[in-house]
Structure 1
Amino acid sequence: MADSPLKKALGHIRVLDLTRVLAGPWCAQNLADLGADVIKIERPGAGDDTRHWGPPYLKDGEGRDTTEAAYYLAANRGKKSVTLDIATPAGQEIVRALARQSDVVLENYKVGQLKKYGLDYESLQREKPDLIYCSITGFGQNGPYAQRAGYDFIVQGMGGFMSVTGERDDLPGGGPQKAGVAISDLMTGMYATIAVMAALAHRDRTGAGQYIDMALLDVQVAMLANMNTNYLASGNPPTRWGNAHPNIVPYQTFATADGHIIVAVGNDGQYKKFVEAGGQPWLAVDERFATNPMRVRHRDTLVPLLADMVLTKSKQEWIDLLEAAGVPCGPINNLDEVFDNPQVQARGMRVDLPHPTGGMVKLVGSPIKMSATPPRYDAPPPLLGQHTQEVLGGLLGKSEAEIAALREKGVI
């Protein structure tokens, strides 16, 4: 019963994954976690670029580095790896054969690149009319930038994210700052996942497939959310505030005696409790600081006083004091602390899977929690070409001799 497709939300779906690096693989991993059969096509001898983006690498049972980079492991769980040279006619025919037996094709090649191989949406849709085909690029399939290569870092800048991220320009260290992870890639993978599942729902009702055009720049612009509408409503572009808030004080990070905390005071009562917990009740009665509008006006005077106060206690002392007082707060944890956190552990956010070369591979679980069809962790990220024989022989019905001939010619 554990292996029944009915226990997998997408157990009836096959995905042909022609993507590499992060945005596309992130989408494909989401679909795999939800039960889809994902076949990842990789270049013979090299594979996905991220396989080589190390160190760090997965270690084997004796503590030695394997060839599996941690970056690659982050986005490729639950897939089958097939090595295939799609620049060859034989490789192209195999892709077409796999597409005919798939529900979804994902690709992140440059605009027009797959058309010369006969692997674009129009070509494959003629052979499988109900195919869902999702293209992921930096700038989309049309517009003056369509032919440009898209890189997450550049898109974070172009899409406005870095104009609102980073310390204030008038403070030390001020200036634009990228996010600590590739957010436009990751969010594009998430939006692509939503689009694919919406297209599958539409196909279930109508029998029709469709084309999905995802662009990193579109996603980066969209995800600025209220910053966008603040600008559109006022005509004034928002600026950087670092870890502070333009309208609330104190609502920022503070250094403690042994780390950092976040204090998110939402009203004057919480502010009073905050300074009382720090042994500085006078800061709540001083007319310059008694109300939030006054605190905002006098932030440059108040914040240094609060910073000195917070430095007198440890991170955990402050968390205990402020939680008891009902003041919103939280630690700034490193990843050691994140994975030691009892709430993170209770939510099952780390999963350990057996790996062919690494013994066990430690991965981060899906945040999706579903009562009937929860995410599945049936397989670790695959070795390069691990499933070539299985897929070509089992799914496409090729004989061992045919597969050996393809291997001899360098097609697989």
Structure 2
Amino acid sequence: MAKIDLIVRRAKLGGKDVDIFVSKGKIETVKKAVKSLDPGDARVEEAFGLTVMPSMTDAHVHLREPGFEYKEDIESGLRAAAWGGFSNVMCMANTKPVNDEGSVTEFMLEQARKHWKNGPRLFPIGGLTKGLRGEELAAMAELARAGCAAFSNDGVPVKSTELFRRALEYASDWDRVVIDHCEDPYLGVAAGVNEGAVSSRLGLPAQPDVAEALQVARDVLLAEYLDLPIHLAHVSCKKSVDLIRFAKAKGIKVTAETAPHYLVLTEDYLEAPASEYDTNAKVNPPLRTAEDQQAVLEALSDGTIDILATDHAPHAGHEKETEFDVAPCGITGLDTALSVTWGLVRDGKLTRDVFTRAWTTRPCEIFNLPVNTFQPGDPADFFLFDEGEQWEVTPQALHSKGKNTPLMGTTLKGRVKTHFIQGKKIV
């Protein structure tokens, strides 16, 4: 056995008490826990029966730096990720300047190394078009060489199908996946409310579910025609699920994500007496119906939707404290995602295997990122999790600068106590 640097004692993994042995930042072995052992020169971390989980990957985050550091910066965003259980963080390109050239990518990576040298790891997502304007492709080769893990036009749908086709083709030359924000560019763009009975009663401009599904259909057809992969961001409605399920049945190279807020909240939240017109629930795509929520949950369970991602979108308080129809879209999620989705496991709505696939193994497969499955040689990325600890969502409890969550004031269960990345304790 190689020289052991770290031993995590008496952790619970898959219902069993185990000791985890780490060497040079990698898993050496995982053994049934014993009453005593000689650690030698290794550091010992006593888990006291806490659950150990492989670190998670968030494939859709907005860290705002450069340009909007008052909302979030890379230091604070990665702090929230560290305490949220994430070792890999993929950040979108809607910064100022936009991450559409290598120098911006390099700046992001340098900021991550400066503040979090041992992780969480940052994987920038390059802009698909210059300035995200949808008029001309960005310097995709330069972005890939600088370290971008994927490409996306983020929240600005590419209107030109011809340009989008070329983007898919160029991305494949660099073995990168395009992530598409599926939203028809003419149907209730970024309205932040689902079109239906609730929006009518509240008198708010709204977006129909078909606005998302139309773009999903386009992407499915392109992926089939080109035989190239495409990843669909934050799926929120049944119409989209039906199209993705159809595509996968045909073997089309489509993968998809949804976000925790679509699994625990619906449009009805906006009519609740304590939350009416709550701008913290304004998100794009909007919270949908209970039927949509059930369809998305079932799709996640059966693999039609591959992964979970937070779509962490922090805003400053003054930006959300305004009229609903002018407030920006976005919910902060890095701090709360683990507790929220583990609650679905606890309630029997998701299995542990689906949880692990959606947060850990599948996103790393799609985007070619490092992953820990507790096999020898895997990166020693894991955290100790207290499944029973209750905590209240307050501004002080959130590590992100963004406090814009409709979960504010609620009580969640389950919290990260200690997090290791490549065998180094980061929190």
TM bin, normalised by shorter chain, reads under 0.3
TM-score (norm 1): 0.28
| Greater helix share, structure number | 1
